[in-house]
Amino acid sequence: MRTDIEKTLLDKISDLPTLKGKVSAWQSEDKKVVFTNGVFDLLHIGHIIYMAKASELGDKLIIGLNSDNSVKRIKGDDRPVNDQDSRAALLAALFFVDAIVLFEEDTPLNLISTLLPDILVKGADYAIENIVGAKEVLANGGEVKTIDFVEGYSSTSIIQKIRKQIT
């Protein structure tokens, strides 16, 4: 039997068709839907601040989460450190995250094209014209924004630090 907390966390993790229905309902209530994506392998303060700032741009925050297979293709065979179910549950535990959806592709273009969020967000290391899905969101009347990263934090640097301490 699942606890209320487990149910709440699992309710935030959606497949694309279910999430499309939620987004349509939110938008019909004039809620601004914000979308960002990433691997979020080892959750750190940089991730938390980035997502919190993204959530402040609208009313509902959706996280597109790379699946394990997608992460392996992008980051290499030794990643992810945490599996997709664990990463999704950790994100679902954040009060400012309203929905998580996994994607198998290398980019979230299909998610973005299907959901058509009001605001698409990426890190400021991206130029807006190079952000996957920007063209689709802008064509639909939405906005594309970037957020500065917190310096000195990355999952890769954390992994490297751990490896140094082990050897």
Over residues 25-50, mean pLDDT: 95
Identify the band that residue 159 occupies on the pLDDT scale cut at 50, 70 and 90. Answer: low
| pLDDT tens readout for residues 43-56 | 999 999 999 999 99
94 SS3 class: coil
**CA–CA separation, 13 and 99 (whole Å):** 6
- Return the higher-pLDDT residue of 102 and 3: 102
**For the whole model, what pTM was predicted?**
0.91
> And the tokens for 15?
């497949």
**CA–CA separation, 159 and 154 (whole Å):** 9
| pLDDT tens readout for residues 102-137 | 999 999 999 999 999 999 999 888 888 999 999 999
